[in-house]
Amino acid sequence: MTQKFKLKHLRALLLTVLIAANAQAAMLFIPMDNAQTDHLKAYGVVYKMVSEGTRVYWLLNYRGGSFAAENGERFRVNAMAAGVESRIISNSDWASILDIVENNNMEKVALEKSPKIAVYTPPGKLPWDDAVTLALTYAEIPFDKVYDREVLSGKLNDYDWLHLHHEDFTGQYSKFHASFSHAPWYQKQRLELETLARELGFETVAECKKAVALTIRRYVESGGFLFAMCSATNTLEIALATLGTEIVDRVYGGRGLDPNYREKLDFTMTMAFENFEIITDPFVTSFCNIDVNQVNTPRRTPALDFVLFDFSAKLDPVPTMLNQNHVNVVPGFHGLLTSFNRDIIKKSVVILGEVPGTNMIYYIHGVVGEGQFTYLGGHDPEAYTHAVGDKPTMLELHKNSPGYRLILNNVLFPAAEKKEKKT
């Protein structure tokens, strides 16, 4: 081998190393303001990067909550394939961004570990879709399905993030008796729920759902992240307020939280609401007064657009993450529960989005034990009134939906690096 050939070979090797090093160092920037072509797919691209060990930074309040990732050249192809706007930025561009973030109401948060996700959903297909399942599927974020059997067997311990949607934890079958009692899907669902409750050792569906609700609360207490929408929010709270000693002892292995606990309203066990009134009449389609809009009653009120609060990114990074968006006003949308009654929200709960000048709160967040929960009112952010039997929303037509962004913020924020609060 000649000296000239050796030098040529060495130069080629050095060039390969330099290219690889530059590719490793290159930062991929994903804007999340109005420049973004597909906000929802962007979350999936970020989730995949974090899952594969790439260091990703969430730039809170910078251009709609943009992302920047190390090893950018590798994932640039993925972003392009997903139709997500992105670009490789220079070291000086990255330094300029960091300077802007440092000197404004912004923050750089590292995303460390993609959460393992479970969606609470019955095995049989119901006559409505689930906005979170649609969002996860569209963004190509993996998730598993769990239901009562898995919850009560301890399966939730395998997951970091749990989603609840259109569910009735009171055992009243979503109060659809008056309207759909003769519908085949309703009769089938009721039979399946009653059969499952008996198989799990409960006399009634209501008892089974209370045990499930309390197990979910324990999951949050132990450090889990819970996100709920629509009727899963208020019916979960009703179940937690009416547990009774037997259910508490069963879930806590005979070690009830309070030896004097009885079958009554007890708001110490609820997570978000207190002093609310429960409606038990099966022919009255409202569950309680937690919901302001009362969608299926003569007192129905319109779903109004709601405003997202602007938090201090450096002092309150969690609510800031949950509210990242390219707009600060989100179009309102109905659900079996549409908005939360301000007067009965616990003082410890953080309000994330509201209709100013009204009692309508759409979006809240709280801490229980070591874990956290977020409730979002309404059923589908891109279907103002989503009726039973309507076709699923095609997210290909709503790539920049601010309402669906709120859902995906919740999916991603458990991945954030844990920091001590500065307040």
- Write out the H or E segment, with its range, that includes residue 89: strand 87-89
Question: 216 φ, ψ to 5°?
Answer: -65, -40
Q: With the CA atoms of 352, 374, 390 and 47 taken in that order, what torsion angle do they form, in degrees rounded to the nearest 10?
A: 100
Q: What's residue 168's pLDDT?
A: 86
The residue whose two tokens read 């072509």 is 37
Give the pLDDT score at 110.
96
Does the 117-415 domain belong in CATH 3.40.50.880? yes
> Rounded to an integer, what is the distance from CA 300 to the centroid of its chain?
26
- Residue 147: burial class (beta carbons within 10 Å; 0-12, 13-18, 19+): middle
CA 233 to chain centre: 12
For the chain, which residues make up each domain, given as ranges?
3-111, 117-415
Q: What is the pLDDT of residue 342?
A: 97
Class of domain 3-111 (CATH, top level): alpha beta
Nearest to residue 288, comparing CAs of 172, 154, 165, 406?
Answer: 172
Q: Could you give the strand order of the β-sheet that contains 66-69, starting from the edge strand earlier in sequence?
A: 87-89, 27-30, 66-69, 56-60, 107-111
What pLDDT is recorded for position 326? 98
Q: For 270-316, how does the pLDDT look when each residue is reduced to its tens digit (9 = 90+)?
A: 999 999 988 777 666 777 889 998 876 777 789 999 999 999 999 99
d(CA 154, CA 170): 21
CB 317 within 8 A of CB 350: no
Walking along the chain (423 residues) 10 residues at a time, the average pLDDT comes out as: 53 43 70 98 97 95 97 86 95 96 97 95 70 94 96 96 88 64 71 89 92 96 95 92 80 60 72 89 75 79 95 97 98 90 97 97 97 95 76 91 97 80 45
